[in-house]
Structure formats: structure tokens, C-alpha cells
Amino acid sequence: MKQNINTALFLIAISLNLLAIYFGYSVYENQFALHPAYLAIFVPDCPLYVLLALLIILGFVKNDSFSFIVSIGMVKYGLWTVFILLFHSSYYFAPDMFNISVLFVMGHIGMALEGLAIMPKKKIGTLALALALGWFLLNDFSDYFLGTVPLIPQEGMAIVRDLTIASSILIPLALFELADKIRRNALVAWLRGILFRAG
């Protein structure tokens, strides 16, 4: 019975991830045309990391450093999106957008939690941490200095930029230092059991 429930939850999780990728890329579709092809990797933040997480969950990629970097992306961009929705609440929670914005908040909280659940089982090395720091800071450079930041309201962009850059340093360091505690968290362990069908 428990196995059947976990299988059903696993299939629901996979379906939600696929929907998130589809709708996520549709949000960025028009933005791709605004940038040269070599910056395309920096455009679709959330759907890119959900896609990469799906590769891990389905067992197509088995590499601890890769899983660590993807888990950071899931947490960073999941929380970033929730922050943006709340920071610009007068825009995103206007009556005509209220329902979809509530769904977006819930979905991106789920994205961040999923990021914690796909963290590698083993402690990763400092090289992977350095790669993660470099990669996400490069992404921030592209977003805020080359213009690939998602199409959001421009008010308070300096605050958004500074907090985003800070998160690119603090989130990798936190996941690196607190990895064991995160893995032992009951909710994270439960989600990991569903995603990796570990019982």
C-alpha cells in the first residue's frame, strides 16, 4: 500500500515538474529573442533548473557536484521568484493576477523544497562549492549587467540585484555547511523518499 502511494506521489511530482518546465519556458519564450544565442543559457532560470532536477530524479545524471549545483539553483530561483512576487505584490497580486500568483508562490516554494531533496547524499568538496559560487555569480552578471534578468517590474531593481548577488553567495555556503542537517530534516527526507522512491 505504501509503495503504491509513493509511486502515485512520484508520478504526480514528475507531472508537476513537466508542467513547470512547459509553462516556465513559455514565460521566457519572447525573452529569448531579445538576447544573443550565447546568453540563452542565462535566460530561463526556473524552468532550466527544474529540467536539470528532473534529469537527476529520473537517474539520467548521477554526479554529486552536478546535483549540488542544481539543488542550489532550485533553492535560489525558487526563493527568488517568491521574493519578486511579494516585493512587487501590488502588481502580481492585483485582482486579475491574484490566483495565478498564489499558484506561482506555492509552486516556487515547492521548487525550493525539491532542491533540498535532490542534494547529494555525500558531502561534496570545496571545488564543487567554488564552481557553484562562480556559476551563480556569472549568472547574476549576465542578468543584471548584460540584461538577461527576467522581465519583471523595474522598481527597486538595485535592491533586487543586491539581494540576488548576496543569495548567490549565501545559499551555496549554507547548503555546503548545513548539508547533513538538511538531509536529516523530516520533510526533506520524506520528499527525497518520494522523488527517488526510497520507500
Are residues 81 and 104 in contact, defined by beta-carbon separation less than 8 angstroms?
Answer: yes
Digit-coded pLDDT (tens) for 178-192: 999 999 999 999 999
What confidence category does residue 17 fall into, taking pLDDT thresholds of 50, 70 and 90? very high
Digit-coded pLDDT (tens) for 112-148: 999 999 999 888 999 999 999 999 999 999 999 999 9
Q: What is residue 199's predicted lDDT score, i.e. its pLDDT? A: 40
Are residues 196 and 57 in contact, defined by beta-carbon separation less than 8 angstroms?
Answer: yes
Set of cell numbers at residue 190: 520524506
Q: What is the mean pLDDT of residues 153-173?
A: 97
Digit-coded pLDDT (tens) for 25-77: 888 988 998 999 999 999 999 999 999 999 999 999 999 999 999 999 999 99
